[in-house]
Amino acid sequence: MALSVATGRFTVPGSAGLQSITGVGFQPKALIFFGTENQALGTRDDLASFIGFAASATERSVMAREHDNAVTSGEPTNDNRDDRCCFLRHHITTGGGAINYGADFDSFDADGFTLDWITPTGEADIVFYIAIGGDDLTDVSVGQFTKKTSIGTDAITGVGFQPDVILIMGEFGTVLNASSVGGSFFMGCGTGPTSRWVTHGFDEDGVPNMDTGGNQRTDKIIIQTDDGGSLTADADLDSLDADGFTLDYITADGNANQYSYLALKGGSYDVGSFNGNTSIGNQAVTGVGFLPIMEIFRSYCFAASASQVDNMKSLIGAGISSSERSSHWWGSEDSVAVSDTSMELEELFCLRVRTDPDPLLASADFVSQDDSDGFTVDWDTVDAISREILYLAMADAPKVALPSPALATWTVLSPTVTLGVTLTPTPAVATWAVAGPANVSLGVTLIQMPAVARWIVASPSVTVQPRGIGGDMILDDIIEKTIVVPD
């Protein structure tokens, strides 16, 4: 039982229809996409960028933003769609530019996934993916919801399970599957009311001098402004619930903005932040609480601040190992008469920060997942700014360790029992109270009978799943459900 992760890239095809992406190494259950108009790795002028989620052929979403370079009156646009997982308009000088490319999600496959290109491009634009799967990942959902138009709590339901972690993204538009003029977007992530973050950027429409900036906080999960940077909504994560999650809006205007989420259940997750080095060399990040297998990075590319900053910059990256990582940066300069926008894609780094597009300000490669408490990145370019980097770290689900006074062999009659940790009861009846992580409490009563074993799982948040009949009976998976295995 484990969580499986991968990051890689592919190119947009030149014709409509199905495209199978292989070489992932497992069958994913969730995908995160990011891409640009870049046909080669590295930087280019203009801004055209997207982030997409996919959980099934009917559960997918994408948020895109575009802003032409070297124009005297910038007119950025945003898109928020629930009918595509990859989508991008051409960088443009006027709103409503032609669609560059767009793909729906078709299927998860044994070694990858398949996309259905509705609008292809002949330019072989590069798209990166982050794939998540494995037996530990038990539930995935992608959905949409409408921003609350008054302050207070708002329960988002219909997810179908209680998530362990959620990612939320949104922009200032109020209509799905249509472009909105002006650029204002955010992405938030959280595992609970004390572990969450949000990064945000804005890019104003139709002004003679560019007006761009951003916000980033580790005490909220939503920050939304209009395209001029005036706050229109901010919210904290109140709770993760049996059928979704609850937000608590501190600020909310009357606009019914459309937001999207990716919810995951199963595995171990930590949401945190660190301040990047101002000297070249390795930086060990600790406090994760487990040995990660992947980190997803986000940042607005400035030092931590409770106040809004000038200049819109944003990055997303992923790190699995020193040979498997990826990064995407984009930016739009503030207070310039002619728009100065640019973007970058890289697969040899996990963190990159530029100034539209030069000089390179900060750059880090991914080094390793470290022992049981964090990860290490290697800064090869730095300046005097210690930038706040947000991360989502993930790993296998925690394994339950049970005491073992003496070994016992069980014959199990039900197809609902798992193998993983040897259960060793006393001669007749053994009652175990096992304390795992803070969100796991297991009480199991084992009654040994002459030829069969009867299991009663006494916790409402535990189940045992089978992998065999007979032999040493072991437990290695924690899922939602109570089960009684009859004798």
What is the full DSSP assignment across 88-122?
EEPP-SSSSPPEEEEEEEEEEETTEEEEEEEE--T
Residue-level pLDDT at 401: 45
How far apart are the C-alpha atoms of 180 and 78, rounded to whole Å? 5
**pLDDT digit string, tens, across residues 188-208:** 999 999 999 999 998 865 566
- Distances from the Cα of 342 to the Cα of 66, 223, 312, 329, 351, angstroms: 10, 24, 11, 9, 16
Which residue shows structure tokens 């040979």? 323
**How far is Cα 39 from Cα 36, in angstroms, rounded to an integer?**
8
pLDDT at residue 419 greater than cutoff 50: no
Strands annotated E in 194-323: 195-203, 212-217, 222-225, 231-241, 244-252, 258-265, 268-275, 281-286, 294-299, 309-310, 312-321
* For residue 230, pLDDT beyond 60: yes
Answer whether 0.75 is exceeded by the pTM: yes
Domain segments of the chain as ranges: 4-395, 399-487
pLDDT range class, residue 178, cuts 50, 70, 90: confident
Q: Cα–Cα distances in Å, from 146 out to 86, 247, 254, 385?
A: 21, 12, 11, 37
Work out the pLDDT band at 91, boundaries 50, 70, 90: low
More confident position, 52 or 93: 52
Q: Residue 144 in contact with residue 244, Cβ under 8 Å?
A: no
- Check whether 404 has a pLDDT greater than 50: no
Mean pLDDT lowest among 88-92, 139-143, 357-361: 88-92
Q: What angle do CA 326, 332, 338 make, to 5 degrees?
A: 145
Closest to 318 measured CA to CA, from 3, 4, 6: 6
Judged against a pLDDT cut of 80, whether residue 362 lies above it is answered with yes
The number of beta carbons lying within 10 Å of the beta carbon of residue 216 is 29
Residues 340, 64, 292, 4, CA torsion sign: negative
| Phi and psi at residue 445, to the nearest 5° | -105, 125
